[in-house]
Amino acid sequence: MAELLAQSNIDALLAAATSGEPAPVDNDAPLIFGRKARDPENTEIKVYDFKRPERVSKDQMRALQTLHEAFARNFGASLSGFLRTIVEVKVATCEQMTYSEFTSGLPNPTSFNLVQAEGLEGQMCFELSPLIIYPIIDRLLGGSSQELFIPQRPMTLIETRLINNVTTRALAGLSEAWASIRQMQFSVSATESNPQLVQIVPPNEVVVVIGFELKLGNRAGTMNLCIPYNVIEPFMDHLSSQNWFSLSKKQSSKQVEQQISRNLSRAPMVATGLLAQTTITVNELINLAPGDIIVTEKPARHPVILCVENEKKYLAQIGQYRGNRALKILRPIGAADRV
């Protein structure tokens, strides 16, 4: 097999042949073996740890990051409505590491929650930093978090109960984000303050860690979601970018319509009955007193107008039902009706 020599090697061989001495060997220079000669100074060398192979491909990591970016937006909106203030949530990191590396980088104490879902073998970890836990608790209790002291102790039962409201909303958003891959309902099975005491997988097991950054006013903290590889291994094929986008496109439009209808059906709306309308002068309005009668041009037997959110929708008959005043819908208002 023909080998190509670099110019420096050729010069060294020529110098050795001329002087009759062997070419000097640089013991400090790194040795790079390959079919083609490479300059050690211009070659990028990376350390590879055979104890920690990358089991999740780059496409699958990008899909996981995109998936949880949608979760971060939804969770931020839900948390903002719950706390009545603006909360920003965004994905900070998405990487794979060993479980021991993940737990060693967490503070102690912290809010360390074990999450499970039906159909998944194993558990995931959901961690909330104390730097954002106590500002949220202070906000829920009416504080301003301006000069808040972060205590270095495990949370009390009352504080844990308050943070459960945040955790429940996070898991609901997580279930909604994962619905494009698989329908799952996440729930907290246990809570611990010291992450070193929890071993859901062996220390050298590969896990995917998605780190989030939360901002609440002048306070900021982190949130981490640890997903062991063996938990999501059965459907890792669906996480490649092509399969993930094709899976979202294949969702039945009828199923989406039914889900939207179910969500809208629970929305409250104001219905009012418009008995009659008339016009009066400002002087008559000022001189109105109890007992005065306002005369309208509408007969009492004519149907009244039923308005939904101030929009005229139905014609109804006024009456009584079980001792209460009621409106019986006669028909929808058509385009030819003059109401």
What pLDDT, in 10s, does the model give residues 283-311?
988 988 998 888 888 887 888 888 988 88
pLDDT of 244 above 60: no
User: With respect to CATH, is domain 58-249 assigned 3.40.1550.10?
Assistant: yes
pTM of this prediction? 0.59
Domain ranges of the chain: 7-42, 58-249, 271-332
State the CATH architecture for 271-332: Roll (2.30)
In this prediction, residues 85-111 reach a mean pLDDT of 88
CB 83 within 8 A of CB 142: no
Question: How confident is the model at residue 211, as a pLDDT?
Answer: 92
Please determine whether the domains at 58-249 and 271-332 fall in the same fold group of CATH.
Answer: no
Rounded CA gap, 216 and 84, in Å?
Answer: 11
Give the tens place of pLDDT for each residue, 43-70.
777 776 665 556 777 888 888 888 889 8
pLDDT of 203 above 70: yes
* Phi-psi sector, 6: left (phi>0), alpha (psi -120 to 50), beta: beta
Task: Transcribe 119-153 into DSSP letters.
Answer: T-SS-EEEEE-HHHHHHHHHHHTT---SS----SS
DSSP state of 4: P
pLDDT-derived band at 1, boundaries 50, 70, 90: very low
